[in-house]
Amino acid sequence: MKMKPTVAVHKFSSCDGCQLAFLNAGEALVTLAGLVDIVHFAEAGYLDEEAKVDIAFIEGSVSTPHELERIKTIRENSAMVITIGACATSGGLQALRNMHDKDQWVEGVYALPEYIELLEDSRPISEFVKVDLELWGCPINTRQVVAAVRALLFGVLPVDEHDKVCQECKRQQHVCVMVAKDEPCMGPVTRTGCGAICPSVGRDCYACYGPAELPNTGAMARRLEGLGLTSEAIAQRFLFINNHAEAFREEAIKWQEQGQ
């Protein structure tokens, strides 16, 4: 009898939101469990972190010495490594500490900072090991996970969705919040995947899904400036959730330097 592909879901520094994309799948998760053999997924009760697997999903960034050793071991034990969510693909919210003094940050948060072991920076998985596929989002959604697994079972890489949120808004006939309300929306440079949730309720996009294909970040920044944002505020818009995404980070640095 042919063995089912083995899957592991590993957590690093994160909020667990992307793992919930699996657990919230409901009936789809039951179907998925019939297609693959889930051997490690602590949040769902499967515990075998050092198992050799066909596919390893990684949530979270590398922030501690222990996590650095773990990701190297996981890479050795996995035929394919897939990062899920902003933390694993581009640093996430916790990587905002990279722009500040680490020791000062730890002392300001913890009563006994001498017991806290952190790397100098919190960084995405790809800066330490080879990553075969990235699923962007904060958090990712169930559809992304199921589509990725199904494509891999057919022996092909999942389609990389990199349309802009603006295109999703047009498809759903949402009123543009930047045009109608002068909201500093990041939709023109952000990849869709969320279904344009925030613009659908009249809110601006916060770039949860990272840079879209060929993002014109320079034009986006100048538009934000035209809406009254300061240089620092513009930089923060790009650095907020996906601060290690190259296109966003490079543009943010320009505006940080301009504001000095």
State yes or no: pLDDT of 119 exceeds 80.
yes
The pLDDT value recorded for residue 31 is 78
Q: Which domain holds residue 197?
A: 165-259
- What pLDDT digit, counting tens, does each position of 146-198 carry? 888 889 888 888 888 889 999 999 999 999 999 999 999 999 999 998 999 99
In a domain, 206, yes or no: yes
Give the per-residue pLDDT at 2: 57
In 3D space, the residue among 56, 139, 162 whose CA is nearest the CA of residue 92 turns out to be: 139
Q: Is the pTM of this model over 0.85?
A: yes
Classify residue 1: in a domain, yes or no. no
Answer yes or no: do 26 and 149 share one domain.
yes
End residue of a domain, out of 153, 181, 214: 153
Please say whether the dihedral angle defined by the alpha carbons of residues 131, 23, 122 and 195, taken in this order, is positive or negative: positive
Instruction: Round to whole Å and give the CA distance between 122 and 65.
Output: 11
Domain termination residue (choose one: 89, 122, 153)? 153
Which pair of tokens denotes residue 219?
Answer: 């034009």
Query: Are residue 146 and residue 171 in the same domain, yes or no?
Result: no
Q: Which residues contact 98 (CB under 8 A, 6 or more apart)?
A: 91, 121, 122, 123, 243
Q: Which of 153, 177, 208 is the C-terminal boundary of a domain?
A: 153
> Are 75 and 192 in the same domain?
no
Tell whether 20 and 112 lie within a shared domain.
yes
26 in any annotated domain: yes
Q: What is the CA radius of gyration of the chain?
A: 19
User: What CATH number is attached to the domain comprising 79?
Assistant: 3.40.50.700
What pLDDT score was predicted for residue 142? 84
Identity of the residue numbered 145? V
Residue 16 forms part of a structural domain: yes
Lowest mean pLDDT among 24-28, 52-56, 107-111, 241-245: 24-28
Q: Are residues 177 and 85 in the same domain?
A: no
Residues 179 and 251 in one domain: yes
Q: How many independent structural domains does the chain possess? A: 2
Mean pLDDT of 18-42: 84
Q: Are residues 17 and 145 in the same domain?
A: yes
Could you report the per-residue pLDDT of 195-243, keeping only the tens digit for each? 999 999 999 999 999 999 999 999 999 999 999 999 999 999 999 999 8
Q: Please indicate, yes or no, whether residues 45 and 172 belong to a single structural domain of this protein.
A: no
37 and 124 together in one domain: yes
Same domain, 50 and 16: yes
